[in-house]
Structure 1
Amino acid sequence: MPTALLESMKRELDFLRRNFWDLSLVTWIPFILLAAVAVQMSAGVMRDLPIVVVDRDGSGFARELIRRLDAASGLSVAEQAPDMQAAERAVRSRRAYAVVLVERGTAEEIQKGSTAEVVAFYNASYSTPSGAALREIGAVVQAYAAQLATTQTAVVLGPGKIRRPPLAVRTTILFNPQGSYEFQLVALVHPAILHLIFMVAITSALGRELRDGTIGSWLERWPRRDAIYAVAGKLLPYFCIFMGWAVLATGYLAGFRGWPVAGSIALILLGYATMYLAYIGAALLFVGITLTMGTALSAAGLYAGASFAFAGAIFPLESASTFARLWSALLPYSAFAKLLAEQWMMGAPATDSVRQILVMLIFLLVGAAIGLPPYIRAARRPEIWGRR
């Protein structure tokens, strides 16, 4: 192992040992954040989402519909409000995500053979639970409507005249058939948390040498090639620590929680490694261009913090603006999210995911090529040391 790399690695480990908060950033803080996400999403599938029913009809049909809504696994009739004002108050106070309104004369319309309407209002401010509640309400109402249509036809025309629908849709879920939010979100949020903390930690480690004026005593004595090894040695402890977190996060879902990996675990971990390398390139770019710890940290937080929203894993990019699609392409996490879906959930061929690894390596090469030379030269420029 090159002397410069080994000495820098020992130097950084000694620094972490002596500085509580820097050590905390890579040890117990990631653990708390990963555990909080894991516990919050451990239920997997949303159940018993509270809704409010306003029954203006008071008929047997309305009572049966309320019973069916409450019996649905994804819903819970938390309240039967006397009017829409009371139902609105329940939604505003977050006691319910949706309101189901049964108007007067609904049962009469059904008995006459007309098409009655059951109105559903939902709170789009909480789009995920409200959307799930709305889908469940629609399924319950449609199933009840189909039963009523069959019953009425049998009464009017006789059981022998009942005809099955000439066309039906059969839906087959290809991946994540359980519809688990734990499987979908925890697998994505854990690396999103890790790469953000990782980039803040390495940007801080590089920028600290400039802020404290220690970059000269650290790098100036090394020739250019050894200086590159020294920078690599400084960042190596962080890379190893966060690869350990990647193994733990993957083992939690695949081992402890039992979610099957359709593709290759080795390729997923290789994806983690190349994602970290890509963000090393980004950190070198920001520190090398700004040569200021505070500015580089601000850029790092903005760059890595926006990754989850623009990765295209939760919010589709197909109809997004040109800026959103461009910003997504400039984020290494976007390539990692694709690799994760391909290997964990979809079982895609390894050749498809290798493309994402190559994309992430480009970030390392470009960032290091632009940011590393001015950072190394800064070791011989004491006039820029000490800037915050």
Structure 2
Amino acid sequence: MASAFASALRREARFLATHFWDLALVTWVPLALMALVAIQLSAGVMRELPIVVVDQDGTAISRELTRRLDAAPGVSVVARPGEMGAAERLVRSGKAYAVVLIPVDTERAVLRGATASITTFYNASYSTPAGAALREVGNVVQGYAAALAPTQTAAVAGPGKVRRPPIAAQSAVLFNPQGGYELQLVALIHPALLHLIFMVAAASALGRELRDGTIGTWIGDEPPARAAAAVAGKLALYLAIFTGWGLLAIGYVAGLRGWPVAGSVAMLIAGYAAMYLAYIGVTLLVVGLTLTMGKALSVAGLYAGASFAFAGAIFPIESASAFARLWSALLPYSAFAKLLAEQWIMAAPVTQSARQLLAMLAFLLVGGAIGLPRYLSAAQRPETWGRR
């Protein structure tokens, strides 16, 4: 079995060395995609998001609020039109994400001791940047209100009436206190890209033997144990290559970009390996059931390509439909995303993340138990060869 494993590994390595695009799929294509994502999200946090201020009051308080908004790191006041129609056109043209309206008599209401209302209109078509801009505007307005409250209360009711609020809300960020999108997204998108390419490469490696009719000469005369070892040797090369890409992804974010791993690096590496093993199981299942390279590649693209959206790492899966929750549970990437958050950001106990490893390895056992025998039997059935 060891010789069958090693022979198949060398055979696959020779194939990659002589086929440009198959080699590209596991070398510079992953590197190019990972670099593209890294460059796009290298800023880490969103800064200088454009907003528009419509100051209908034109007083010292409204001008100070506008100045504070422009000085805030998260937003930038790019225009100060006099009416809402012009502000709306700026938002529709994509030049701003939000409009802050300071209505007439804002300062008069403050001086009378009443509460002035500042309205923010934001473009929810771009939910992430608009939401960030909305939070920044809210923080600035609340901060300015807190600064105005003591002086205005003293001016209206007298210094003796000024006292601190009886109750104050305090928030503490448990994980990712920097609010870094680089840590949140790059650490997730890199494995999302890698597992998609990995499944396509594995399906191609197994499917081409059927398509080209070479599966018979490769393992057709081998006993089942040696044939299974040969399949393992073929796929082991891809497992080693993509585990290396996983190490590079961790090294880039943690080492080069300085986002330290709060938990166990070894568990993260084990998570990458378990994720690839899980997709080997799924690939064996798909190829074994279809016995066609074209269909296997189509299913691989659909199945692995949808993982990021349904993993629950960005969009909460708890409030999704029953189908979405079921689909999320049927994706190995969902378990990997949980393990990544637990170990990289939350410093969860290793025993807790071990459950995610077991969940991923279950895909290998189930998929391999169903798909591998069908794939091995196809080596002795010439009628299954040559399908596109």
TM-score range, shorter chain: over 0.9
1:181 maps to: 181
Secondary structure of the equivalent of 1:380?
coil
Partner Cα distance (2:153, 2:102) in 1 = 23
Q: SS where residue 260 of structure 1 aligns? A: coil
| 1:143 partnered with 2:146 | no
Deviation, 1:382, is 1.4
Measured after TM superposition, the shift of residue 127 of structure 1 is: 0.8
Shift of 1:300: 0.9
Q: CA shift at 1:151, angstroms?
A: 1.4
Q: Does 1:227 align with 2:227?
A: yes
Superposition deviation, residue 316 in structure 1: 1.0
Deviations 1:34-60 (A, max 9, x none): 111111111111111110111222222
Q: Offset of 1:84 from its aligned partner? A: 2.0
Divergent runs of 4+, >4 A: none
Q: What is the aligned partner in structure 2 of residue 324 from structure 1?
A: 324
CA RMSD of aligned residues (A): 1.2
**1:96 Cα deviation after fit:** 1.1
Looking at structure 2, the residues matched to 82 and 237 of structure 1 have their Cα atoms a distance apart, in angstroms, of 65
Q: Describe the superposition over 1:263-316 as per-residue Cα deviations: whole angstroms up to 9, x where unpaired.
A: 110111001000000000000011000111111111111111111111111111
CA distance in 2, matches of 1:328, 1:338: 12
* Alignment-derived partner of residue 383 in structure 2: 383
Cα distance in 2 between the residues matched to 1:291 and 1:105: 74
1:211-231, Cα deviation, whole Å (9 max, x unpaired): 111111111021111110111
Separation in 2, partners of 1:261, 1:317: 25
Tell me how far apart the structure 2 counterparts of residues 341 and 73 of structure 1 sit (CA, whole Å): 27
In the TM superposition, residue 387 of structure 1 has moved relative to its aligned partner by: 1.3
Distance in 2, Cα, partners of 1:99 & 1:145: 19
* Structure 2 residue aligned with 1:18: 18
SS in structure 1 at match of 2:53: strand
Matching residue's letter, 2:190:
H
Deviation string 1:176-227 (CA, Å, 9 cap, x unpaired) is 1111111111111111111111011101111111111111111102111111
How much has 1:66 moved relative to structure 2?
0.7
Distance of 1:12 and 1:86 partners within structure 2 = 63
Structure 1 residues 64-108: Cα deviation after superposition (integer angstroms, max 9, x where no partner)? 111010011111001112322222222222211111112222222
Give the aligned partner of residue 348 of structure 1.
348
Q: In the alignment, what sits opposite 2:313?
A: 313
| Percent of paired sites with the same residue | 68
**Pair 1:162-2:162 in alignment:** yes
Count of residue pairs brought into register by the alignment: 388
State how far apart, in whole Å, the 1-side matches of 2:253 and 2:217 are. Answer: 44
Question: Which SS does the other structure have where 1:96 is aligned?
Answer: coil
- Distance, in Å, in 1 between the alignment partners of 2:274 and 2:364 is 9
Q: Which amino acid aligns with 2:233?
A: G
Mean CA deviation greater in 339-348 or 140-149? 140-149
**Where do 5+ consecutive residues of structure 2 fail to align?**
none
Residue equivalent to 2:214: 214
The alignment partner of 2:328 has SS state of helix
State the secondary structure of the residue aligned to 1:50.
strand
Q: Provide the secondary structure at the position in 2 that maps to 1:237.
A: helix
- 1:133 equivalent to 2:133? Answer yes
Once the two structures are superposed, the pairs formed by residues 1-388 of structure 1 within 5 Å of their partners are 2-388=2-388
- My pick for the range that moved more, 80-89 or 168-177, is 80-89
How far apart are the structure 2 equivalents of 1:384 and 1:88?
62
| Shift in Å, 1:152 | 1.1
Deviations 1:301-349 (A, max 9, x none): 1111111111111111121111111111111111111111111111111
